[in-house]
Amino acid sequence: MHELFEHTADLGLRITADDLPSLFRQAAECLFSAIVEDVSTIRPLESVTIDIPGMGELDYLLFDWLNAILYYVDAERKLFSRFDVEQVGPGVKAVIWGEPMDRDRHPLSHEVKAITYHGLIVEPIDAGWRAEVIVDI
């Protein structure tokens, strides 16, 4: 499960999942639900492999994961809708699927400028894992 929440001039992402790969997948899905009005318009036509070495801290790993995905949005103007997360811990290995941004087909909701460290949390809960991330819009 994931949801957006308001945070002063920024936007928060709140995610819960049964396991860490699901948490990271849903964090990416939540990010794109903030960026694009209708994520279902993003076709999984092209893939990108993401391999991030870990440093032991899950919150920083989540930051690096979302930051790596946001790079492709900013630098290569790509949008993603499918996130096949293969491993979380000590790093992240995943294949993400999407297509080039088309403003006619992909109306944007928010321009996410950056992932922030402010309020960054990844923690175990009774039913699995919970994360909160604030993004600069």
User: What residues of the chain score a pLDDT lower than 70?
Assistant: 2-9
Q: Which residue has the tokens 């790969």?
A: 21
pLDDT of residue 7: 55
Q: What's the 3-state SS for 49-98? A: EEEECCCCCHHHHHHHHHHHHHHHHHHHCEEEEEEEEEEECCCEEEEEEE
Q: What is the CATH number of the domain that holds 74?
A: 3.55.10.10
pLDDT of residue 10: 84
pLDDT of residue 3: 67
pLDDT of residue 100: 98
What is the span of the domain harbouring residue 46? 2-136
- Please classify residue 116 by burial: count the beta carbons closer than 10 Å to its beta carbon, then call 0-12 exposed, 13-18 middle and 19+ buried: middle
pLDDT of residue 4: 63
What's the structural domain count of the chain? 1
pTM, to two decimals: 0.92
pLDDT of residue 56: 77
- Please classify residue 79 by burial: count the beta carbons closer than 10 Å to its beta carbon, then call 0-12 exposed, 13-18 middle and 19+ buried: buried
